[in-house]
A and B are shown apart, each in its own frame.
Chain A
Amino acid sequence: MRLLTTREAVPLLLVAAIAAVLPLLGSDYYLGVGFALFGWIALAQSWTIVSGLAGYISLGHVVFAGIGGYVLVLTWGAVPVWAGALLGALAAGLFALLVGLPVLRVRGPYFVILTFGLAEFAKYVVINIENALGRFGRLILGGPPLETLYWAMAALALAGTLAVVAIRRRRLGAGLVAIREDELAAGTIGVPTVRFKLFAFALSALLPGFVGALFVLRTGYFEPAQAFDPVISFTIVTMAIVGGSADARGPVFGTLFLVVLSELLWSNFPQVYMIVLGTLLVGFVLFAPNGVAGLFERRWRVRGAPASG
């Protein structure tokens, strides 16, 4: 196995370092921020597998987190906590496998709006199920303490980052990138496009299922409109695009940036936070399609290049 390259090592070390440092600050506030940060990193890395590498941009990734959270509360009390979270992840992956075949036949922008519609559809289905059951939100009491949840989420963030690094090295990653660049040409040179896309989609659903379960454990509460909130999908996309989504660095950079911003703005000025988020998305798509990671690289290259040109 080759040694890690810089672009592989940086995000891994960054996640590990943050995970190690935050608890030393000795306050639940920082554990809470870290928990959220790692949650978003895990979500954004998962998104990168299918959207950054294969180019199938999902605007509905919240659906997997919602399913994970829902399965957790459904199995609450019936199975141990962690088994419930694991079942949530598996259910999300299974859902991706089931809907993946028809959904991944739809390409480009239509895939994007389809994923959004799919997540909204799932949200309203769950709302209706809960209404029919006479449930209006579910409380769960006696979940694991914050510190435990913190370490679990840090592990998920690291797992997500490792997954992107590992996939990029493998045939799977090369095939997904080829699909992103030109799906017809990819198939013609021998990339099993259908299988790879489906596999990537299912992989990209697993961790979010887990993350969604942890989110519910942290709030102690499940409410479908909140668990399937489209703002979550939107935030994932923005984080990944602001960071630059072609490798494992982007999600880490973008998430760090936006979580800090969110800490500054969200609780007091939620709308201002959303406006900044929207503006960043527009700005990065238009002017810096390779994200923060790309900006760093360009700066680097420009500096390294001879002055003439």
Chain B
Amino acid sequence: MEILLSGQLLVAALIIGSIYGLVALGLNLIYGTMRLLNIAHGDLVMIGAYTGYWLFTLAAVSPVLAMLAAGALAGLTGAALYFGLFRRQLAGSQPIERIEANSLLIFFGISIVIQNLTALAFTASPRTYQALDTLVRIGEVSITQSRLIALAVCLGLSAAIVLFLRFSALGLSIRALIQHRTASRIVGIDVDRVQAFAFVLGFALAGLAGTLIGVTEQISPFMGFPFTIVAFVVIVLGGLGNLAGGIAAGMVLGLIETYGVALTSANLRSVLIYGVFILVLVLRPEGLLQRRRLT
């Protein structure tokens, strides 16, 4: 009981929550602007985690630097996929529901390919590494350096992106696209450019977060899917296209998970996450759906 009231658990929840918020932000950007359901999102997290692992073990590069490389690598992957596969789809005449459903299957295939390519390259065995693991004490709470950095980076980046979307011209175009896809075209926004940017940024954020995650979690080719699920839970909870809401929802999920596990057992973590996922989708799918109009 005592542990429930300790600051330690709260900080742990905030760290997990901030990571979830950042991972989900990338998914929200891509879904919000293009209605693409990137079910491979978690695999970018995985790519980021491996980038951190190899840069550290082979060249002793600090994860703080490696995360930039991971962001770049994931961003490049995003650019390749956008220009290679999705641009044509989006520019075509298909109804958006069709693109949405297809994107899910396409990304599902991409996810399987990425996972198995990784397994082929690096084997499927899980890996861990020790970096930035000195303990920092703040009052009664002690955390490893790496998790403190993760908290700072995730919160800082999330805030920066929300501000960017609110105040920069490109950010405003992204928000316009999220709110009114068709109208944006008429208003004279360069939809293609904005889409490419959102796509690449969404991927880069996942890759970057992946490096931070890989410092403390087991790294394996199949580690990504739970993060995809988490990201979906978060954007359903926070509301589609509502980026600030998503960050708050990340925190909520972090709290639910941390306290839920503390109250029950670590084995139930997946049951808990998927349970929340199912409840959210069943109870308010309209949080994700476009407003349905009966005409």
Contact = CB atoms under 8 A, between A and B. Distances in A.
Interface string A81-102: 0000000000000000000001
A127 B268 CA distance: 10
A79 interface: no
Interface string B98-128: 0011111110111111011101100000000
Most B CB contacts (10 A, CB to CB) among A103, A110, A230, A275 go to A110
Contacts of A102: 282
Contact of A278 (B111, B225, B275, B281): B111
Nearest to A112: B104
18 contacts: A105-B285, A106-B285, A108-B97, A109-B100, A109-B104, A110-B285, A120-B229, A127-B267, A230-B225, A238-B109, A271-B120, A275-B117, A278-B109, A278-B116, A279-B113, A282-B109, A282-B110, A282-B113
Interface in B74-100: 85, 89, 97, 100
B39 interface: yes
A103 B282 contact: yes
A117 B270 contact: no
A241 B104 CA distance: 13
A277 interface: yes
Nearest to A114: B281
B104 A113 contact: yes
A122 to B, nearest CB: 9
Interface string A108-147: 1110111001101100110110010000000000000000
Contacts, number: 117
Dominant secondary structure at the B interface:
helix
Contact of A285 (B109, B113, B270): B109
A292 interface: no
Interface string B261-294: 0000001101100110110011001001100001
Instruction: Bin the interface of chain B by size.
Output: 35 or more
A134 to B, nearest CB: 13
A124 B278 contact: no
A250 B108 CA distance: 20
Interface of A: 57, 59, 102-103, 105-110, 112-114, 117-118, 120-121, 124-125, 127-128, 131, 184, 230, 234, 237-238, 241, 271-272, 274-275, 277-282, 285-286, 289
Given A121-B271, A124-B270, 11 more contacts: A105-B282, A108-B97, A110-B285, A110-B289, A114-B277, A117-B278, A117-B281, A121-B274, A282-B109, A285-B102, A286-B85
A234 B112 contact: yes
A168 B124 CA distance: 43
